[in-house]
Structure 1
Amino acid sequence: MENQIKIKAFGMVAEKLGSQELTLSNPGNSESLTKQILEEFPGLRSVKFSLAVNKKLCSERAEIPVGAEVAILPPFSGG
């Protein structure tokens, strides 16, 4: 059970996953995690989403430390 990460999903991403929380093995970085999520949940391929690691948005490949809090965020609509 070590090296597992909890992932919280929001909005339409959570709807596509059918859950607001997932536990997956930690692939080590945000790029690999995105690939892993898309392989396990092909329905997300049609949704543009962002990853946040420890409340920081990942704009490029970011390391995911052990015990990190990861969020999958739907597209934001500006006001």
Structure 2
Amino acid sequence: MSVTLKYFGLLAEITHCNEEQMELTAYVNTLLGLKSAVEHRFPAFQKTAYSIALNQALCNDDLALKDDDEIAFLPPFAGG
């Protein structure tokens, strides 16, 4: 199963990319599993506040992933 990961702001600086394709294993089939895999790959994520959007909607970590999903890692928002 292949998904698209998008990184914004500080998170893009940590990963040194804005977007990448990732092949998921049978063990990484939920947002929580993906979050854990990304934090293992980029330990600085563990010290950074961020939200996750699945197919352009903010969501909880327990959602199942499907082929061709788009997951965005979003830094904290500021408003005014």
Instruction: Report the TM-score, using the length of structure 2 for normalisation.
Output: 0.86
Any conservation in 1 of the 2:30–2:61 contact (CA below 8 Å)?
A: no
Q: What TM-score comes out, normalization by structure 1 length? A: 0.87
Q: Which residue of 2 aligns with 1:67?
A: 68
Q: Which runs of 5+ in 1 are unaligned?
A: none
Partner of 1:44: 45
Aligned twin of 1:31? 32
**Shift of the alpha carbon at 1:43?**
1.6
Q: How many residues align?
A: 77
Q: Which residue of 1 aligns with 2:3?
A: 5
Counterpart-to-counterpart distance in 1, 2:70 and 2:21: 11
Unpaired stretches in structure 2, ≥5 consecutive residues: none
Alignment match, 1:21: 19
Supply the distance in 1 between the matched residues of 2:6 and 2:42 (Cα, whole angstroms).
14
Give, in whole Å, the separation in 2 of the partners of 1:75 and 1:62: 21
How far apart, CA to CA, are the structure 1 residues paired with 2:20 and 2:38? 10
Distance 2:50 2:43 in 1: 13
Moved over 2 A (4+): none
| Range 51-60 or range 7-16, more displaced | 51-60
Q: Percentage identity across aligned positions?
A: 29
Shift of 1:38: 0.3
